């Protein structure tokens, strides 16, 4: 997009939504884990926040069950500013590149913020072995504050014939510090799943054609500027609807390889329309459509997740987290399970901010 067009887009969005804010997080609230265990630092020279997860040894041919997984680790943000996306690099103890194939998934979660459609913690990003860089235009950024905590959880395996020792998953997040002459427009990631929040998100896939849906209301109104999603094999479509208005906002079919395996989902940006409206007095529905030709039920064979980026409306404030809410407490319980994010247990996926098994 040309620079002039980006500037005009930004001005248009500022007129529509003003300057959105988030509730002041309680940065002194105790967490069930050490808030400084994660290697999280600010690389000023490269303009990035750098998160290093590991080390972990990966024997050749090891499944995720053969490996002693690290589990969730928390770090504290070193400065105020804005995040513009992320990319993943994997290296061994000698600094040599390791194939991204060893990454089953990684999730980045803001422990001091809630999700748009539920009381679980906010999903900031996620990646799998096939995930490329996720980058927002410099005009937009997720606002973060010094002292906020990020939780990272990952699952590793090694389908290759080579063993790797001291493996680290390094996530690099382009970062603009507070005080810049042109501050980005604050945007917020959101996540939806066809299963209830803070629950097992994979489900048994029945034979034939089937649909599974979940409905909810957003905590704030605003405008969605982009969405993407995730389905498993035999997925046909993922559909996001405004139930109250009777309107389909986004629907996409998965991208398949020659063997019919899902290798991605199309991402859709709504920048040319200055985003699409999202209203907190409306009900929204996410539906996953599958067609299982095997004639048998596939245990934990299906998922349906959507991730997106939105800008809250003028005078709306992204609500704070309720640390006593049952969904928040259950979310912590699930995340501390080292199988979190696996098809049988944890999270789904999202785009540009969200969360799970794999990210498109």
Read off the pLDDT of residues 201-237 as tens digits, 9 standing for 90 and up. 789 999 999 999 999 999 999 999 889 888 889 999 9
> Do 106 and 203 lie in a common domain?
no
> Do 136 and 190 lie in a common domain?
no
> Do 31 and 119 lie in a common domain?
yes
> How many separate domains does the chain show?
2
| CA atoms 275, 281, 282, 288: torsion sign | positive
pLDDT class for 78, splitting at 50, 70, 90?
A: very high
CATH of the domain at 311: 2.60.120
Tell me phi and psi for residue 151, to 5 degrees: -105, 130
- Picking from 108, 142, 177, the residue at the C-terminal end of a domain is 177
**Listed range (21-30, 78-87, 134-143) with the worst mean pLDDT:** 21-30
Tell me the C-alpha to C-alpha distance, in Å, between residue 47 and each of 91, 150, 177: 21, 18, 8
Q: Is residue 263 scored above 80 in pLDDT?
A: no
Max avg pLDDT among 117-131, 142-156, 252-266: 142-156
Tell me the C-alpha to C-alpha distance, in Å, between residue 339 and each of 17, 131, 197, 302: 40, 20, 17, 17
pLDDT of residue 23: 63
pLDDT class for 162, splitting at 50, 70, 90?
A: very high
| HEC-encoded secondary structure of 31-82 | CCCCCCCCEEEEECCCCEEEEEEEEEEECCCCCHHHCCCCCCEEEECCCCEE
> Do 35 and 172 lie in a common domain?
yes
SS3 of residue 175 by DSSP: strand
* Residue 39 included in any domain: yes
pLDDT of residue 19: 54
pLDDT of residue 27: 72
* Residue 15 included in any domain: no
Above pLDDT 90, what percent of the chain? 56
pLDDT of residue 163: 96
* Residue 326 included in any domain: yes
**Listed range (11-25, 83-97, 262-276, 301-315) with the worst mean pLDDT:** 11-25
Give the C-alpha separation, 23 to 231, whole Å.
33
Once rounded to an integer, what is the mean pLDDT over residues 329-340? 79
* Residue 3 included in any domain: no
Residue reference for tokens 């980005």: 184
- Picking from 151, 177, 203, the residue at the C-terminal end of a domain is 177
> Do 60 and 111 lie in a common domain?
yes
> Do 105 and 202 lie in a common domain?
no
Smallest CA-to-CA distance from 147 within 246, 250, 75, 46 is with: 75
Once rounded to an integer, what is the mean pLDDT over residues 143-147? 93
* Residue 1 included in any domain: no
pLDDT class for 271, splitting at 50, 70, 90?
A: confident
Once rounded to an integer, what is the mean pLDDT over residues 35-46? 93
pLDDT of residue 9: 45
- Picking from 177, 197, 231, the residue at the C-terminal end of a domain is 177
* Residue 57 included in any domain: yes
Domain that holds residue 283: 185-335
Q: Is residue 327 scored above 90 in pLDDT?
A: yes
* Residue 124 included in any domain: yes
Parallel, antiparallel or unpaired: strands 21-22 and 317-318: parallel
Tell me phi and psi for residue 327, to 5 degrees: -70, -40
**Listed range (52-61, 219-228, 303-312, 335-344) with the worst mean pLDDT:** 335-344
**Listed range (34-38, 196-200, 338-342) with the worst mean pLDDT:** 338-342
pLDDT class for 57, splitting at 50, 70, 90?
A: very high
> Do 199 and 227 lie in a common domain?
yes
The string of pLDDT tens digits covering residues 100-144 is 999 988 889 999 999 999 999 999 988 877 778 888 888 889 999
Once rounded to an integer, what is the mean pLDDT over residues 34-50? 93
> Do 126 and 47 lie in a common domain?
yes
DSSP label of 320: B
Q: Is residue 3 scored above 80 in pLDDT?
A: no
pLDDT class for 351, splitting at 50, 70, 90?
A: very low
> Do 210 and 171 lie in a common domain?
no
Give the C-alpha separation, 216 to 354, whole Å.
17
Please provide the average confidence, as pLDDT, over all residues in the chain: 85
> Do 167 and 43 lie in a common domain?
yes
* Residue 11 included in any domain: no
Instruction: For the chain, report the end-to-end CA distance as a whole number of angstroms.
Output: 21
> Do 276 and 163 lie in a common domain?
no
> Do 171 and 194 lie in a common domain?
no
Once rounded to an integer, what is the mean pLDDT over residues 145-164? 94
């Amino acid at each position: 997009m040309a620079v002039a067009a980006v500037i005009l887009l930004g001005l248009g969005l500022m007129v529509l939504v003003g300057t959105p804010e988030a509730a002041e997080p309680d940065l002194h609230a105790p967490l069930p884990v050490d808030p400084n265990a994660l290697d999280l630092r600010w690389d000023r020279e490269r303009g990035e926040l750098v998160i290093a997860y590991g080390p972990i040894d990966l024997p050749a041919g090891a499944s995720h069950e053969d490996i002693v997984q690290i589990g969730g680790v928390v770090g504290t943000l070193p400065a105020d500013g804005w995040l513009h996306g992320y990319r993943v690099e994997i290296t061994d103890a000698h600094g040599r590149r390791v194939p991204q194939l060893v990454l089953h998934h990684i999730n980045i979660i803001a422990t001091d913020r809630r999700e748009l459609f539920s009381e679980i913690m906010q999903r900031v990003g996620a990646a799998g072995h096939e995930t490329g860089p996720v980058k927002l235009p410099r005009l937009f950024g997720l606002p973060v504050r010094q002292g906020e905590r990020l939780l990272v959880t990952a699952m590793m395996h090694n389908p290759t014939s080579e063993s790797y020792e001291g493996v680290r998953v390094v996530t690099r997040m382009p970062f603009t510090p507070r005080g810049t002459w042109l501050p980005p427009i604050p945007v917020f990631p959101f996540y939806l799943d066809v299963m209830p929040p803070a629950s097992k998100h994979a489900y048994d896939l029945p034979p034939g054609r089937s649909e599974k849906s979940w409905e909810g209301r957003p905590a704030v109104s605003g405008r969605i500027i982009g969405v993407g999603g995730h389905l498993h094999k035999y997925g046909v479509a993922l559909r996001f609807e405004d139930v109250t208005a009777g309107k389909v906002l986004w629907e996409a079919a998965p991208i398949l390889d020659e063997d019919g395996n899902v290798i991605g989902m199309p991402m859709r940006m709504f920048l040319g329309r200055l985003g699409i409206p999202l209203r907190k007095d409306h009900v929204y529905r996410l539906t996953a459509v599958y067609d299982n030709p095997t004639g048998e039920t596939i245990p934990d064979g299906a998922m349906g997740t959507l991730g997106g980026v939105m800008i809250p409306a003028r005078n709306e404030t992204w609500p704070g987290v309720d640390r006593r809410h049952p969904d928040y407490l259950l979310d912590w319980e699930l995340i501390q399970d080292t199988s979190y994010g696996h098809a049988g247990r944890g999270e789904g996926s999202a785009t540009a901010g969200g969360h799970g098994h794999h990210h498109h």
